[in-house]
Structure 1
Amino acid sequence: MDWKIVLDLLVSVLLIATIGYAVMLNQRLTQLRKNRDDMAKIIVSFNEATVRAESSIPKLKKAAEDSGAALQERVEKAQSLRDDLAFMIERADTMANRLENAVKTARTDVRPQVTAQVRPGGGMAPPPMAAPAPQGARAATVAAAASAEMEFDDRSEAERELLRALQSMR
């Protein structure tokens, strides 16, 4: 055989292998271009989402500041109410102590005046017992005594409202 034919056959086989490799490379490049287009779409949508998020940050900061200010106002108002309630409780304790002392004094003044009564037939009758006052009447008496001890001008608005509420419950 001739060297020229062997070389031509060898070149032809190598050309066929090169063409097959070029076809395979072309398919991969096509897939890469397709994926690159998809990747570009993803990057564009990611960019848009980033811009929206960045534009929302100042709005969120403003909303957080407004909420913080409103919460601070409520906390201050609650502290003021807490102080008023503490004052009212202190005053109520003082009034309750006064009423308790007044009741003790009244009981000690009434007990010596009660005398034993003689029963017909020679025995001693026990002293009469006062019937316990109903709960509502007792509360009304306590509230009336408490309101009599305090002057109206010395009361805060919260105390006045509390007294009105107590009086309306009678």
Structure 2
Amino acid sequence: MNLELGLNILLVLLLLPTVVYVALLQRRLASLRADREAVESVIERMNEATRRAEASLKGIRQAAEQAKVTLDEPVTRAQALRDELSFLVQRADAAGERLAGGLSSAGAGGATAAAPAAERPRRAKPANERRTAGGGTGNGSAEPAAAPETDEVRSQAERDLINALRNVR
């Protein structure tokens, strides 16, 4: 019997820490279950925030596409106008260089500011002043009228530029 009693006492001594350990484990599991509910609520809030963000991104994409469609036409027109203006500036530079070359060669040839009126270069009158009802130059001279400039040859930008320059005078 002694052996049986000793084994029972040993078994009780070993079961006592096991019971304490099980009680601690039970408390930890209970706190994990409570935390699980909190984690689930956080996950649900994250999912809702993700859905709202996706909806916002969809709206932003649609707004960007509408802005692109709205701005494509004006940008294309602006680029075309830029190209036309660049061309006109190049032509104006070339004409200015030709004019400056003509003036410098006239100055080198002995022409002065006191040159007779017949030898001075004449300032071209605008097309609306050159033409009169009779088809002449409007000054009664025998000079032929300058060839009429057709609007068909000029681009819209050139016509607009010419009209703007006329309005400035």
**What is the TM-score normalised by the length of structure 1?**
0.59
- Which residue of 1 is the match for residue 138 of structure 2? none
- Which residue of 1 is the match for residue 30 of structure 2? 30
- Which residue of 2 is the match for residue 77 of structure 1? 77
**Matched positions, count:** 137
Q: Please identify runs of 4+ aligned residues in structure 1 that moved more than 6 A.
A: none
Tell me the amino acid that sits aligned with residue 161 of structure 2.
Answer: A
Q: Kindly indicate whether residue 79 of structure 2 is the aligned counterpart of residue 110 of structure 1.
A: no
- For structure 2, which runs of at least 5 residues remain unmatched after alignment? 116-121, 128-145
Q: Quote the Cα distance in structure 2 between the aligned partners of 1:163 and 1:152.
A: 16
Quote the RMSD (CA, aligned, Å): 3.6
Instruction: Select the residue among 156, 159, 163 that pairs with 2:162.
Output: 159
Aligned partner of residue 110 in structure 1, secondary structure = coil
- Which residue of 2 is the match for residue 131 of structure 1? none
- Which residue of 2 is the match for residue 126 of structure 1? none
Q: Quote the Cα distance in structure 2 between the aligned partners of 1:38 and 1:54.
A: 24
Q: Which has the higher helix share?
A: 1
| CA gap 1:157/1:8 in 2 versus in 1, 3 angstroms | same
Question: Deviations along 1:60-113, whole A, 9 cap, x unmatched?
Answer: 2212212322442332122122133134324424543564466357544735x9
**What is the TM-score normalised by the length of structure 2?**
0.59
Give % identity. 34
Q: Which has the higher contact order (CA 8 A, sep 6+)?
A: 1
